[in-house]
Structure formats: C-alpha cells, structure tokens
Amino acid sequence: MVKPLEVFQLVIQYICLMSTFYWALKLIYQDNQLLIVLSKNASHDYLTGLLNQRMYEADFHRQLKIARQQATPLSLVAFDIDYFKEINDHHGHVAGNQVLVEVSTALKRVSQGYQSDSRLYRVGGEEFNLVLPNNDRKSAEQLALKCCETIANSVIQYKGVRISVTLSAGVSDLTQSDKQVVDLYLRADHNLYLSKQRGRNRVTVDGKTIVANKR
C-alpha cells in the first residue's frame, strides 16, 4: 500500500517535472520568436516594413535569371520622393517618417493591385525600387504613372498640416545586352534623374518623360 508521504512526494515530483517542461517550451517559443524578429529585421526595412536593399539585390538577381531562362519580360521602376529634404527641414523628421510610411503603403497597395507578384523595396532614404516580373516597358510605365498620380493626389497630414508629396520615377526593362541587374538599374536611375531634371512628378522611359496628372 502506497503511503501518503510517498503520494505527496510523487505529486511534488510531477509538479516539478511539468514546471520544467513548461519553462523549456516557453524558452523554445521565445527563441523562435526572436529568430522570426531577427529574420524579418534582416530582410525588411524597420520603418516602412518594406523589403530592404539586401532583399532587392537577391530577388532581382533571381528574377533576372528566371526571365532569361523563360524568355519573359522583366521591368524595374525606380521612385524617389520629390523635395524630401525640404519636407524634413520644414516639418521635421517625424513628419518625414510619416510621409515615408504613407508613401510606401500607397505604393505597395497600387503595385500589388496591379500585379500580385510585384515586389517593392525601400533601397535608400526616400528611394524605392519596384521589380515587375512578366511586365514589359509599356506596362511598367503605366503602373509607374499610376503610382505617381496616386501619391500626387493623396492627402498626407501631420499635426493638422497638409504635406504636398510627389514622386519622380524612371523605368527600364530587360534587354538582350543586359548581363546583370545593375544594367537595368543604371538605365532606370538615369531615367529617374531625367524626371527630376525636367520638373519632377514625372515618369521617364528611354528618355521620354510623361507628366503625372494632379487634380
């Protein structure tokens, strides 16, 4: 017959065992959550939640390889927020951060509504790159124009003050002579420069610039 003391000791041992098991599971869960956070921080921009420069380079290399193998189009749109330094200087960096978040949210919504497998990246302070698999230059131009018009006609407010925001964009697409992703990027960046030089709130493709409509 089991004595009461022995029963009590068994209960205590069971409680200790279950407590140890619980804390072990909790530590495993916390470690997994930490790994998830670290993984996201390594691939996403901390402020906007968009994919970052590292992911842009990795994804674009992969998309270039796929486009080459399958003989499919591939386009890149480079965006830049116009007069962003003036926004920071006039309204403050907190307002500038709000502009970055709202612009990135709008760009992601418009681009994914247009094509679900589009990929948007924050690659600099106020710079964004949009990679468009299976899209030629013309369709990329149309999307870039829609993005610029969406931002130009949006309402961004900080402490009750409306902040006017526009984007400039440059577009490029994959050609037979392109050997690596930097070839597409340099053309998109040059077109972006032309959009800035020609008045901003514009989209440039192969040197041809289109003004985004603003209500």
State the greatest distance between any 2 C-alpha atoms of the chain, in Å, as a whole number. Answer: 96
Instruction: Look up 126 and say whether it is catalytic.
Output: yes
Q: Which of the residues 6, 57, 102, 126 is marked catalytic? A: 126
Q: What is the dihedral of CA 97, 99, 101, 105, to 10 degrees?
A: -170
Residues with Cβ < 8 Å from 63, sequence gap 6 or more?
A: 74, 131, 133
CA atoms of 133 and 77, how far apart (whole Å): 11
Residues with Cβ < 8 Å from 164, sequence gap 6 or more?
A: none
**Cα angle 126-132-135, degrees, rounded to a multiple of 5:** 140
**Which residue reads 């603003």 in tokens?**
214
CA atoms of 90 and 38, how far apart (whole Å): 35
Residues labelled as active-site residues: 126
